[in-house]
Amino acid sequence: MDTKLPDSGTTIFAVMSALAIEHKAINLSQGFPSFNPDQALLDLVTHYLNNNGNQYAPMLGVPALRQSIAEKVSMLYGRSVDPDREVTVCDGATEGLFSAIQAIVHPGDEVIVFDPAYDSYEPSVTLAGGKTVHIPLIVTTEKPDFHIDWERLKDSINEKTRLIILNFPHNPTGVILSAADLDVLADIVRDTKVYLLSDEVYEHIVFDGAAHQSFIRHDELWQRSFVISSFGKTYHATGWKVGYCVAPPALSNEFRKIHQWVCYAVVSPIQHALGDYMARTPDHYAALPAFYEEKRDRFCALVSESRFRFRPANGTFFQILDYSNITDEDDVSYAKRLTREIGVASIPISVFCEQTPASRKLRFCFAKDDDMLVEAAGRLCQL
């Protein structure tokens, strides 16, 4: 068959999770919590399942949920968004990203992503007929955390550039953007027709007192941005696949033209429950940074006894560990070997990059119960 995605294999998340099951390994590969959502939220889902919450939701999303999202955005990012014209509930962030890309990218357009880049971006761009341009995040002596090479970004923008996809807090490196970074980006795109797609699924998982710099917050960037988030990461419910897109009216309008044909509407009882829960429990996401910061600190303290080297993540629930002190082996085969031999599954970073990075790094998910983290770190320390 004449495939539309010749380079698309099975995602590394499925590969590593299957290997973890086969070898009964501790699965720190795929990014999902080992704990349940709040019981109050589960009770609300049950309530709506039993009380007429089971028919099609409106195409844009359940009104009470869109209202809760708009209130949260206003409280956290200081912008009043119209739930009817600027908020759309989608089938997980994945659908939001896909629909935004299909809405904006025409055949021949260029789309810039930063490597390591989340693996759904490029196939979505390819399906829209676009070309993905990869710019590696860099590490320098002055700035040892991964960051954007702004000069290279500036030089990469041309008349074909249609969209830049950014993802901060960043999966897999755990780095975040500062307010000054957003200003630099605004300077770069000011006189262009480039749109922005900001994947902010880890918006509530930012550490050490830093504030998440949502594109919604920034007056100039907001005008050209689709901002995508996911309830899966925020409410420990990745399997529900419910997310949302916040964008100015003209962009939301185009987004919805695609969204309605991709999924039309998202699972109803869960939308009702989330809307209700957000209105009753706004402090849930306020507590997330401290909750995950403690897990990051625990995991980092445990692996500090090992031969891995690392800089603690600034956000997300992922920690990168550099194994160059241990072996020269490539990261895909080393990740598989660790799964088979010591029973700890991780994600190799090179699969998120167009060009294999020189450094040797694996990504570990610390959204896990403490006993799993202790056991996994103990095994890593024996290497």
Ligand X SMILES: Cc1ncc(COP(=O)(O)O)c(C=O)c1O
Minimum Å gap between C-beta 241 and ligand X is 6
Residue in this structure with the two tokens 């529900």, named with its chain if needed? 240
With respect to ligand X, which residue has the nearer C-beta, 93 or 278? Answer: 93
| Residue 328 burial (C-beta neighbours within 10 Å; 0-12, 13-18, 19+) | exposed
Handedness of CA 14, 243, 221, 181 (dihedral sign): negative
Nearer to ligand X, 25 or 117 (CB): 117
Task: Give the interface with ligand X as residue ranges (CB under 6 A).
Answer: 31, 92-94, 118, 167, 171, 199, 201, 230, 232, 238, 241, 243
Q: What whole-number distance in Å separates Cα of residue 90 and Cα of residue 206?
A: 24
Q: Which is nearer to ligand X, 92 or 289 (CB)?
A: 92
Tell me the closest approach of the beta carbon of residue 58 to ligand X, in angstroms.
20
In the complex with ligand X, the residue whose CB is nearer, 238 or 252, is 238
Q: What is d(CA 107, CA 127) in angstroms, rounded to the nearest whole number?
A: 9
Q: How far is the CB of 1 from ligand X (least distance, A)?
A: 27
Rounded CA-CA distance 251/15 in Å is 35
- Residue whose CB is less far from ligand X, 161 or 238: 238
Rounded least distance, CB 170 to ligand X, Å: 8
* HEC string for 65-125: HHHHHHHHHHHHHCCCCCHHHHEEEECHHHHHHHHHHHHHCCCCCEEEEEECCCCCHHHHH
- For the bound state, the minimum distance from the C-beta of residue 307 to ligand X, rounded and expressed in Å, comes to 28
Q: Which helix (H) or strand (E) holds 27?
A: strand 26-27
